[in-house]
Chains A and B, each alone.
Chain A
Amino acid sequence: MKNSCSSVSTLLEKYFDQEVTEEERFLVEGHLQDCPGCRDALSSMEELRTLIKAPVEEVVGKEDFPWVWQKIEREIRLEKKRTWWSSLRSWLAATPLFRRKVWIPAVATLVVLLLITAQVILKKTPSSQGVSVVEYLESPAYNVMVYQPEEPNVTVIWLFEGPEEEQRTT
């Protein structure tokens, strides 16, 4: 069956752009052998493409593409980095578990645990280097002696009773 020009012309552009199927290509090539008008149309398309392509290639040849790419890379590097907080927020917003606010009791528990731990850690730790120091001493009725032995596990405060006190107490 001989194909008419009107039915092939719709395929001609696709053929020119190499977008036809194998069957369509066979059909178009068969028609082109017998139709000088469609061959001319195809030649016109090729000329047009050459006409457009030549100046574009000339411009592309002059352009320094590595330099353009370097410029793009520099722009990417200079792009402002996201803060950790905004990253965290976007992550939380994207996670269904956290969107449902189930993290609130978890955070509360964590805070309480941290408080307890901090209290234990920061609790005043006894120092074995410490000694006992008598800062102030007053006794209206007694003579008083303070004795601090060399190995100061014990500090002694001794009240010396006078004879009259001795009589009162015994």
Chain B
Amino acid sequence: MKRTVFLLTALFFFSFFSFSAASAQVQVRIRVILASNVGQAIDPSLNDVHKELGSLFNFTSYRLLRDEPMNLVPNRTVTVQGRRPGRFMEVTLIGLHRDNAQLRMKVIREGVDLLNTQVRLSPGRTVLIGGPRYGEGVVLFAVSSRF
């Protein structure tokens, strides 16, 4: 009987903590977009933000360079490589709340922080980080969350 009680207790705690750990993560999609005025192509995978891009910027072409869906767990930094060596973006989940995720994001070029920011991102929302030039256009990082 004692052994059964012990096993049940162990099972209870294992289930509880494993499910808690599983739920404390955020699905994030990071897309690297090249926005330019060369051509008029809009990548089909940008349909969800196409309207916003059109109303915010004057670019005629939006090309998807990289699409990285990832699961963020607290305090673990993930890196998204840029098109050129030494350019990348770091994203860290630093807090998870009822209706938003707290993310720290860095855009780094050759070891120098171009941008260091902290945002609260609600599900279905997108943060666009743009400006660095690339070729004949600019690079946009679109960070969207879902949890």
Q: Are B128 and A155 in contact (CB under 8 A)?
A: yes
Shortest CB–CB separation between residue B16 and chain A, in angstroms? 6
A4 contacts the other chain (CB 8 A): no
A16 contacts the other chain (CB 8 A): no
Q: Which residues of B contact A54 (CB under 8 A)?
A: none
> When chains A and B are docked, how far (Å) is the Cα of A136 from the Cα of B127?
13
> When chains A and B are docked, how far (Å) is the Cα of A166 from the Cα of B132?
8
Chief secondary structure at chain A's binding surface:
mixed
Q: Are A139 and B115 in contact (CB under 8 A)?
A: yes
Q: Which residues of B contact A101 (CB under 8 A)?
A: 1
Given contacts A116-B19, A142-B115, contact A131 B125 (CB under 8 A): yes
Shortest CB–CB separation between residue B133 and chain A, in angstroms? 4
Within 8 A of B (CB), among A48-93: none
Of B60-68, B73-81, B96-104, the one contacting chain A is B96-104
Q: Which residues of B contact A153 (CB under 8 A)?
A: 49, 52, 124-126
Shortest CB–CB separation between residue B126 and chain A, in angstroms? 5
A104 contacts the other chain (CB 8 A): yes
Interface bin, chain A = 35 or more
Q: Are A115 and B19 in contact (CB under 8 A)?
A: yes
Q: Are B125 and A154 in contact (CB under 8 A)?
A: yes
Q: Which residues of B contact A108 (CB under 8 A)?
A: 7-8, 11
Shortest CB–CB separation between residue A144 and chain B, in angstroms? 7
A158 contacts the other chain (CB 8 A): yes
A96 contacts the other chain (CB 8 A): no
Q: Are A170 and B133 in contact (CB under 8 A)?
A: yes
A94 contacts the other chain (CB 8 A): no
Q: Are A104 and B4 in contact (CB under 8 A)?
A: yes
> When chains A and B are docked, how far (Å) is the Cα of A77 from the Cα of B82?
82
A112 contacts the other chain (CB 8 A): yes
Given contacts A108-B8, A124-B23, contact A139 B133 (CB under 8 A): no
Q: Which residues of B contact A124 (CB under 8 A)?
A: 23, 96-99, 147
Query: What are 6 contact pairs spanning A and B, CB under 8 A?
Result: A111-B8, A134-B127, A139-B116, A153-B125, A154-B52, A157-B129
Residue ranges of B at the interface with A (Cβ–Cβ < 8 Å)? 1, 4, 7-8, 11-12, 15-16, 19-20, 22-23, 49, 52, 55-56, 96-100, 102, 107, 112-135, 146-147
Residue ranges of A at the interface with B (Cβ–Cβ < 8 Å)? 101, 104, 107-108, 111-112, 115-116, 119, 123-142, 144, 147, 149, 152-161, 165-166, 169-170
Apart from A101-B1, A158-B129, A169-B133, 14 more pairs, CB < 8 Å:
A116-B15, A124-B96, A124-B98, A130-B123, A134-B117, A135-B119, A138-B116, A149-B55, A149-B56, A154-B52, A154-B128, A155-B127, A156-B127, A157-B128
> Which 8 A-B pairs rank lowest in CB-CB distance, beginning with the nearest?
A130-B122, A159-B131, A126-B123, A127-B99, A136-B118, A169-B133, A119-B19, A130-B99
